[in-house]
Structure 1
Amino acid sequence: MNSQTITFNSPLESGLRLVGLLTKAYPITYDIQRLVILDYFVVHTGDLGGPESLHAALPMRSKELLVRRKLIESGLLLMMSRNLIERIVSPEGISYAAGEMSETFLNALTSPYLQRLLERAQWVVDNFGIMNDELLKSTTRKFFDDWVEEFHTIQQSLGVQ
């Protein structure tokens, strides 16, 4: 492995989460905005009252929602290039679905991290996958409210007015 190899928060890691989400949701498709939110939820299930979060609980993690879209786009492109995710164009817009080989691909991987990821993807799909857009936005807004509150707390501790 060379010093340029990055797996954490990379298109590969994001792509694997997306393949997991879309495979667990199949035959449901999601647009990119919903994938950004659901991917965040998969990583931070503990914040939602679900299983322990996939990644450590870092301060101000709610701001991740603001920068996640580019990572999701890269992950989608990588997994589409491997036929693990399909892009679906319809009059309603562009959405994404698990590819024909996605389940076979995931079944071939056995790492504990991937098994935890798939458990959390299933939990997210079961709890938020078919939630209407308004309710999903309301749930997501809570993270921004928490972020603003965290930001103000840090400002106060630094003496910033």
Structure 2
Amino acid sequence: MGKKTMSKGLHADYIFNCALETGMRSACVLAADQSMKYDLQQLLAFDHLVVHTGDIHNAPPSLHPNVLQRNGELLVRRPLVEHGLLLMEHKKLVEKIISIDGFYYRATDLASVFIESLTNNYIEELCKRADWAVRMYKDSGDEFFSEVFNAAFDRWRNEFQIAEISIGSDEGLK
């Protein structure tokens, strides 16, 4: 009975889109270079980027499967990343910095210690991608995000058009 209940509550969509996972991804990004601080929009971009690195030339393979219509994730991820940051802030792994320019987040010293204590393959691979993404960002700044996400939005627009054609055709009705 316990097994049924547990498997009922653990769906892949929830596991990959819960506050714990998005918070851990943000903590890994922030811990990759503790001298850096990022705003919510930047962390949202990093969140998408570290799981879909395979979309970029000469990048590590994607951490998550390359499912169709994943580009639309960008439109719904903001509250997930916000909740993840709140969880990490509550656990003292991330701190919010309030400045005249807005709200920023940075890793605490505890974040690196906590992340290094985790020994599963997923976290190790996540940290590699977070390190890569932070290096790329530091080399190019917000232009890096612009290039990556303009390409993602082009793919998303194409996915939308293909779906629209499919719905509008006679074959799509059969």
Q: Could you tell me the TM-score, scaled by structure 1's length?
A: 0.92
Deviation at residue 60 of structure 1 after TM alignment: 1.1
2:24 counterpart of 1:16:
yes
Question: Which of 128, 150, 159 lines up with 1:150 in the alignment?
Answer: 159
Whether the 8 Å contact between 2:71 and 2:153 is mirrored in structure 1 is yes
Q: Distance in 1 between matches of 2:135 and 2:144?
A: 15
**Fraction of identical pairs, as percent:** 38
2:91 counterpart of 1:51:
no
Aligned-residue Cα RMSD (Å) equals 1.9
2:118 counterpart of 1:109:
yes
Residue by residue over 1:23-45, the C-alpha shift from the partner in whole angstroms, topping out at 9 and shown as x without a partner, is: 00211000000000011000100
Whether the 8 Å contact between 2:137 and 2:144 is mirrored in structure 1 is no
Correspondence list, 1:60-71, <5 A: 60-71=69-80
- Indicate the structure with greater helix content: 2
Q: Distance in 1 between matches of 2:155 and 2:93?
A: 35
Q: Could you tell me the TM-score, scaled by structure 2's length?
A: 0.85
Whether the 8 Å contact between 1:83 and 1:100 is mirrored in structure 2 is no
The gaps in structure 1 that reach 5 residues or longer are: none
2:50 counterpart residue number:
42
**What SS does structure 1 have at the residue aligned with 2:23?**
helix
